[in-house]
Amino acid sequence: MFHYYIFQKITFPNLCRLYQEITKRSVVNHEVDEFFTKDLSEVIKHRLNDPEAKDKYNDAVQLLLNAMEEENTKFTKEDADIISETVEKVSKKSLTRMEILAQLVVFLAAGYETTATTLHFVTYILSQRPDVQDKVRDEVNEIFGDKNEIGYDDVSKFVYMNAVIDETLRLLPPITRTNRLCQKETVVNGVKFEKGSVFSVPIYAIHHSPDIYENPEEFIPERFLPDESDSRHPMAFLPFGSGPRNCLGMRFAEYELRVTLAWIIKNYKFIPADEKLAWPLELEPTGGLIKPKHELKCKFVRL
């Protein structure tokens, strides 16, 4: 799971700086911080010194480096979808090397953590719901066919698997709330918000509201099939936040999660490993991160 101290650092940067100033201690592991900073700095340096880098590499690092060197950099639709709308926004201005380094560190944390956590949850749930698991596998086999690899175009064809993943993210969003800063004086439903006000969006509470979702504690993937999902308010489903400050690694996480789950479910069957836990799952209070009270285990059986 995502390290709690890293979550603190990202969510409450000013408080973390105050804590470090008072205690002379850091909330982030220096070895981890130095590892990422050093390695990513070396990659950036190597790319900047390589005149053929633009043609040789096609990844998030190079897209950001291109944005550093050129204004109004154009991205393909596939690039924008996989990396994030955020990457396309940075093309409107030149980036500094430090900004690129910061973006890449957050990109790694956001993309990896969301994928690992959600994959853990969805495989556990599918082990408890073999009927749903079989439907997902049938769809994957139909799209995969005899191919050994799955591409970007194949991922866009998933319908039922997308619904299963989204329903998992609704029930167990990796981040249970998100904060927003009011940029100007605003009035909403007669309530005045002063500029500089900070408010919290309760993602978990929204996802479990009976006013939005019928039987909200039940796992029902069909509620995220296109017809029903399209009729729902866009702010009713916020696993990655929303707007220009949404999760930087969202598109990458979505793509990676779908490719990984498709490959695993094509080759393995998920079965319960232990006695079935009570549903809904008991959760630990973690100040914004979702964490089940008991370990979620399942067995993978090779098909």
pTM of the model: 0.72
**Residue 287: which region, alpha, beta or left (left: phi > 0; alpha: psi -120 to 50)?**
left
Q: What's the alpha-carbon Rg for the chain, to the nearest Å? A: 21
Using CA atoms, how far apart are residues 173 and 2, in angstroms rounded to an integer?
Answer: 13
pLDDT of 35: 75
Q: Is 247 annotated as a binding residue?
A: yes
- Backbone angles phi and psi of 298, in degrees to 5: -150, 160
pLDDT of 99: 74
Number of residues that make up the chain: 303
Using CA atoms, how far apart are residues 118 and 202, in angstroms rounded to an integer?
Answer: 19
pLDDT of 85: 47
With 0-12 / 13-18 / 19 or more C-beta atoms within 10 angstroms meaning exposed / middle / buried, residue 233 is exposed
- Backbone angles phi and psi of 46, in degrees to 5: -60, -45
pLDDT of 4: 43
Residues in a beta bridge with 299:
271
Residues of the chain whose pLDDT is less than 50? Answer: 1-12, 27, 72, 77, 82-87, 89-91
Closest CA to 113 of 180, 162, 173: 173
pLDDT of 212: 95
